[in-house]
Amino acid sequence: RSITIESIQGLSGNGEVYLDRIEIIPVNPTREAEEDLEAAKKAVANLFTRTRDGLQVNVTDYQVDQAANLVSCLSDEQYGHDKKMLLEAVRAAKRLSRERNLLQDPDFNTINSTEENGWKASNGVTISEGGPFYKGRAIQLASARENYPTYIYQKVDASELKPYTRYRLDGFVKSSQGLE
C-alpha cells in the first residue's frame, strides 16, 4: 500500500516542503467509545440535583434532548447496560421536565383546537417533525406582514401561577430576523 500527500493546507505557490518523518497512528475506537460514554454520563448527571430526585432548576427540555442524543449514539454492543440505564434517566428527566411545565402540549400536537387553554396560532404557522437541532415536533412561523402578524400563544390559568414567583419561557430559535 502507498500513501500519497497531494496538498498541504496553508502552503502557497511552489514552496518546497521537507519531511523528516511521517507517522501513522492507529485510532483507538475503544478509547473514543469510552470518552463518548463519559460525556453521556456527565450530560445526564448534570440534568439532576445532587440527590438525583429532581431536575436542576436551570435545566431545559433542549438540554434533556441533547443528553438523549449523546446516549442514543452509544454502542449497544459495548455499553448496552449503561445505555439502558442512561436512557431510563433521560426518560425520568423528560417526565420531571413535563411535570413542572405550566404549558399544555409542549410538543405542539394540536394547534387551534377547541381546548380552552391550548395553543392558538395565526395562519402561516406549521408543524414540522424533528431535525438536527431538536427532537420531536417544532413550529415554524412564516414571515410576518405589517397587517397580519404571525403568532402563537397559550393562556396559562392564573390559579396555577404562584405569587412572588418568576417564570421563565425557554425555547430554541434556529433563525430569525427582527424578532420581537
Render pLDDT for 14-69 as a digit per residue (tens, 0 to 9).
667 777 787 777 777 788 889 999 999 999 999 999 888 899 988 988 899 899 99
Lowest-confidence segment of 9-23, 40-54, 66-80, 158-172 by average pLDDT: 9-23
The answer on 178 and 109 residing in a single domain is yes
Q: Which of 80, 100, 120 is the last residue of a domain?
A: 100
Q: Which of 100, 127, 147 is the last residue of a domain?
A: 100
**How confident is the model at residue 27, as a pLDDT?**
72
Question: Structural domain tally of the chain?
Answer: 2
Q: Which of 72, 100, 128 is the last residue of a domain?
A: 100
**How confident is the model at residue 60, as a pLDDT?**
86
**How confident is the model at residue 31, as a pLDDT?**
85
Checking if the pLDDT of 107 tops 90, the result is: no
Checking if the pLDDT of 103 tops 70, the result is: yes
Residues 6 or more apart whose Cβ sits within 8 Å of residue 170: 60, 61, 62
**How confident is the model at residue 156, as a pLDDT?**
86
Distance CA 26, CA 101 (A): 48
Domain assignment of residue 59, yes or no: yes
Degrees (nearest 5) of the Cα angle 82, 83, 87? Answer: 120
The answer on 163 and 139 residing in a single domain is yes
Output the average pLDDT for the chain: 83
Among residues 52, 45, 42, 41, the alpha carbon closest in space to that of 79 is found at 41
The answer on 91 and 109 residing in a single domain is no
Render pLDDT for 111-155 as a digit per residue (tens, 0 to 9).
888 877 788 988 888 888 877 666 678 888 877 666 677 888 888
